[in-house]
Chain A
Amino acid sequence: MFISEQPLDIVGLLASAHHPKAGALVLFSGEVRNHNLGREVDYLEYEAYIPMASKLIRQILDAANAKWPLNIAIAQHRIGKVAVGESAVVVITASPHRREAYEANRYIIDRIKHEVPIWKCEFFSDGSKKWGGNCNCHEVTGDVNKHIYDV
């Protein structure tokens, strides 16, 4: 399951990710912070187009497995209302040595943020809301399918 309407079970995912051949495990949790661009954030709401979001996360994990010798590659993204301090996305990678686990983990989260059809709406404490636009790469690349990952 790649998209969850329930709070992400980070501890349970971590417990399921230990592997006898892995000497390193990296867990990334993308968490909701209480401010963005100088404004106070109350909570976020995430929306996904689940059929394609699931398919793309599967493809991104497959690509990571092809690039690095991973024992474990897991990603889950939450949708619906997510409170400050809660986890919106979790990526776990495990490999024999730490370098691959770190690199693959970053690759997976970068591609999820830029490519997977998931959107956040920020709800501010002044009562206003704004749909987020993390990926504005097309303004630089001129192509909605070309991304710059190191930003």
Chain B
Amino acid sequence: MKVQVFAGLKEYFEPTFELEKDVQSIDGLKRQLIRLRPSSAALLESCRFAVNDDFVDVDYELNEGDTIVILPPSSGG
């Protein structure tokens, strides 16, 4: 599974990376990333997640080959 992050999240993670361990859900992914970079927790908790370009809930179950994007709160305009 490929993960892509944006904006402030790039201060904690590479812009794109492959998941090394198996995670079952978006919630599992979030918990693994927080374990990896504890200081990213507050930002990660405010993010939206999308799989294959559709928004998903935290209980979404991930499949092999999914591309996950993690979207911090918008600040356009």
List A contacts of B47 (CB < 8 A).
144
Of B4, B48, B76, B77, chain A has the most CB atoms within 10 Å of the CB of B76
Q: Tell me, yes or no, whether B26 is within 8 Å of chain A by CB.
A: no
Query: Least Cβ distance of B42 to chain A in Å?
Result: 10
User: What is the total of A-B residue contacts with beta carbons within 8 Å?
Assistant: 81
Contact of A47 (CB < 8 Å), options: B6, B73, B77? B6
Are A88 and B77 touching (Cβ within 8 A)? yes
Complex Cα distance, B52 from A133, in Å, reads: 25
Query: Least Cβ distance of B58 to chain A in Å?
Result: 10
Contact of B7 (CB < 8 Å), options: A116, A131, A139? A131
Q: Contacts A144-B46, A144-B48, A145-B48 known; A49 to B73 CB distance under 8 Å?
A: no
Complex Cα distance, B73 from A119, in Å, reads: 8
Contact of A55 (CB < 8 Å), options: B7, B53, B74? B53
Of B48, B50, B69, B77, chain A has the most CB atoms within 10 Å of the CB of B77
Are A120 and B8 touching (Cβ within 8 A)? no
List B contacts of A138 (CB < 8 A).
46, 73
Q: Mark A56-76, 1 if CB is under 8 A from B, else 0.
A: 000000000000000000000
Are B73 and A113 touching (Cβ within 8 A)? no
Q: Tell me, yes or no, whether B39 is within 8 Å of chain A by CB.
A: no
Are A49 and B69 touching (Cβ within 8 A)? yes
Query: Least Cβ distance of B55 to chain A in Å?
Result: 8
Q: Mark A96-119, 1 if CB is under 8 A from B, else 0.
A: 000000000000010011111111
Of A113, A134, A144, chain B has the most CB atoms within 10 Å of the CB of A144
Residue ranges of B at the interface with A (Cβ–Cβ < 8 Å): 4, 6-8, 11, 46-48, 50, 53, 55, 69, 71-77
12 further contact pairs, Cβ within 8 A, besides A77-B76, A131-B8: A47-B6, A47-B7, A49-B71, A51-B53, A52-B71, A89-B77, A109-B77, A119-B7, A119-B76, A120-B75, A136-B73, A144-B48
Residue ranges of A at the interface with B (Cβ–Cβ < 8 Å): 30, 46-49, 51-52, 55, 77, 88-89, 109, 112-121, 131-139, 144-145
